[in-house]
Structure 1
Amino acid sequence: MPHLLIDDLHIEVVRKNIRSLRLTVYAPDGRIRVAAPLRTPDATIHEFISLRQAWIRKHQAQFAARPAAAVLTYEAGETHFYQGRPYQLRIHSAAGPARVELQAKEGFLDLHLPANNTAEQREKALSNWYRARLREQLPALAARWEPVVGARAEAWAIKQMRTRWGTCNIRARRIWLNLELIRQPPHCLDYVVVHELVHLHERLHNARFWALMDEFMPDWRAAKQALRSVHLKPCG
């Protein structure tokens, strides 16, 4: 992928069939990416970045200040989150397919799977459980927020993403949600759902987009701020 070096900033440049320049700074490492129309001169991209250096460095500093993400080993006693609440992992030897049981009142996540299991097997079992829980919630989320936003997605899907909480294919009207959202408080999931639905009205993060967010979900800023403090799980 082509790169530009502007002062000490390394810029990834992606040329696409778009009409305007787009700048993104990615968590957790502050990687910088510019999407540019196909025939945009390098000098134009250089000027575009130079005028936005303060904005870029502010976001890189915010990402650098985040606490390091906990390294999970999927051992008994470890803390795992579900819908923003911490649960202690308990592991039980049991025949048959792996299964997870949430003991909400007691504060435990009980993982049942055959003896002599590996960390990878325990991780996969929990990931499958998280995915199933988020998938169960999708119909109710769509039913709640699509009428509010006045936009309907043709399809909803879930995947692990390294840099985004959600994404919207506007042409196909397909919305993807990051699996990690099931670990966050419900209002964060609501925020991402509304955010992606609003993209069906407005593709860009411009004044109109944020005005629509204010209209449909006035308290969206609190959820956005909460998600900024979270290190996304790297994709394997």
Structure 2
Amino acid sequence: MSSMIYDLNGIPVQIEYRRIKNINLYIRPPAGEVLVTAPKGTPSGRIKKFVDSKEEWIRLHQEKMRAQAGKGEAGQPTKGQIEKMKKQVLQYAKKWEPVMGVHASGWTFRWMKTRWGSCTPRTGKIRLNTKLIFCPEECLEYVLVHELCHLIEPSHNQRFQNYMTKFLPDWKIRRKRLRESGV
């Protein structure tokens, strides 16, 4: 496999020749390095023309990637951020479990696409979305109390909402803030 570096108006682009059929463009996290792979034998002029046509796209995606660099690779939280979140959750659990008269049997932290948290009332296990790291801390507390309420009332009925209001009177404001967080 041979390679070369092409200067795209100040952006170094690594070009690698491989046993493939098409020219491919990659922006590598976390720093946004640019890699172009091309079929062996492709004229360098054709590759450079392809890269030049993608300059705006490359710059846009490099900016996005650099903006997310504080969030870890490709927007994912770093291990340090997850550890900080775990400590916060355990502090909130210590505060809320005695007040609510419940106890979670275990906490799991993972990146979820569609939920902020989930609870299995039968086992007492609660899962929290690591995206909460990028939200205001009051939103983390809201989701934690929400999931702990499911240990009392599994559904989202009026009884559940009454518990939320009892334990966290401003829960609707926090929920709105969470939805508006843009995460």
What does residue range 1-236 of structure 1 map to in structure 2 within 5 Å? 72-73=64-65, 75=66, 78=67, 120=73, 126-232=77-183
1:55 aligned residue: none
Helix, strand or coil for the counterpart of 2:165? helix
Q: Spell out, residue by residue over 1:24-70, the C-alpha distance to the aligned partner (whole angstroms, 9 max, x if none).
A: xxxxxxxxxxxxxxxxxxxxxxxxxxxxxxxxxxxxxxxxxxxxxxx
> What number of residue pairs does the alignment pair up?
121
The amino acid across from 2:167 in the alignment is F
Gaps (5+ residues) in structure 1? 1-70, 81-88, 90-108, 112-118
Q: Spell out, residue by residue over 1:196-236, the C-alpha distance to the aligned partner (whole angstroms, 9 max, x if none).
A: 0000011110000000101011010111001112444xxxx
Gaps (5+ residues) in structure 2? 1-62
Q: Looking at secondary structure, tell me which structure has more helix per residue.
A: 2
The amino acid across from 2:179 in the alignment is R
Larger Cα Rg: Structure 1 or Structure 2? 2
Alignment root-mean-square deviation, CA: 2.4
Matches of 1:152 and 1:226, distance apart in 2:
27
Q: Spell out, residue by residue over 1:69-88, the C-alpha distance to the aligned partner (whole angstroms, 9 max, x if none).
A: xx840x2xx3x6xxxxxxxx
Superposition TM-score, scaled by structure 2 size: 0.59
Q: 1:130, CA displacement in angstroms?
A: 1.7
Q: Spell out, residue by residue over 1:100-141, the C-alpha distance to the aligned partner (whole angstroms, 9 max, x if none).
A: xxxxxxxxx6x9xxxxxxx94x866x5222211111222211
Identical-pair percentage: 37
The amino acid across from 2:170 in the alignment is D
Matches of 2:144 and 2:75, distance apart in 1:
26
